[in-house]
């Protein structure tokens, strides 16, 4: 495995050496000591965002951003279309249809930043992932369950975030759907998130959205500490 691309204290994410050139630039966001409360109605920051999306319509997400995100995911057998579209596209469609998902504070923050930026994101319980993450392509035969009803997603050739389990790397998230095994739950107090940006995205753009992500985890979720880091070369 290569050296960590991004690290925040003990938390780090590395790129599989086989990802050359890197198809994505991961922004790493963390928060500690937060609260997880089920969402009954959209918080102010989300209501304002959904109003803006409603006014702009489908043009809220610039086509060049959508195209570059899809290109980031297109590889081998994987095609970012249909049910395999990036999460950011699912969220835009849900917002335009009046069906934007309300889950809990940290997940709502992740979804809001993904919708507003056009960049897909993953958020995990940091105590379940552990501090070491790896970004690689899914291997043939790999899959994981992504919802309570037991549905699974085929991971072959898809970009995946993995957690270390013993000496192995186990996929737990991707820019489409995250695994049930490491999702946020009522007892979660510490989180780590990854914002996936195409390599052509300006470093200031990724920095701005990660800063927004960390800020909302503090302001909306009551995190005692939060922060972010983006690769120096981003």
Residue 9: the pLDDT is: 66
Mean pLDDT of 78-106: 97
Residue 144: what pLDDT?
A: 98
Return the percentage of the chain with pLDDT > 90, whole number: 91
Question: Taking the model in full, what pTM does it have?
Answer: 0.95
pLDDT above 90: residue 155: yes
Residue 232 confidence (pLDDT): 73
Q: Tell me what the mean pLDDT of segment 127-132 comes to.
A: 96
Cα 56 to Cα 74: distance, rounded to the nearest angstrom = 28
**C-alpha neighbours within 13 Å on the C-beta side of residue 102:** 14
Percent of the chain with pLDDT over 70: 95
- Please report the domains of the chain, with CATH numbers, ordered by start residue: 4-229 (3.50.40.10)
* Total residues belonging to the chain: 234
pLDDT bracket for residue 204 (50, 70, 90): confident
């Amino acid at each position: 495995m290569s050296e960590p691309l991004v690290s925040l204290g003990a938390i780090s994410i590395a790129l599989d050496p086989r990802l050359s050139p890197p198809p994505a630039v991961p922004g790493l966001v963390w928060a500690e000591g937060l609260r997880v409360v089920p969402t009954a109605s959209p918080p102010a920051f989300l209501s304002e965002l959904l109003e803006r999306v409603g006014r702009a319509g489908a043009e809220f997400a610039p086509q060049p951003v959508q195209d570059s995100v899809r290109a980031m995911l297109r590889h081998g057998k994987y095609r970012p279309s249909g049910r395999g579209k990036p999460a950011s596209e699912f969220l835009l469609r849900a917002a335009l249809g009046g069906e934007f998902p309300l889950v809990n504070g940290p997940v709502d923050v992740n979804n809001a930043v993904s919708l507003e930026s056009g960049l897909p994101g993953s958020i995990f319980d940091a105590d379940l992932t552990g501090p070491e993450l790896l970004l690689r392509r899914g291997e043939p035969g790999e899959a994981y369950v992504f919802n309570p009803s037991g549905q699974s997603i085929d991971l072959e050739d898809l970009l995946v975030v993995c957690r270390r389990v013993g000496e192995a790397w186990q996929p737990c998230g991707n820019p489409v759907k995250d695994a049930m095994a490491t999702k946020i739950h009522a007892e979660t107090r510490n989180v780590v998130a990854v914002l996936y940006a195409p390599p052509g995205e300006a470093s200031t753009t990724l920095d701005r959205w990660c800063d927004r992500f960390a800020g909302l985890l503090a302001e909306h979720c009551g995190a005692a500490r939060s922060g972010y880091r983006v690769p120096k070369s981003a």
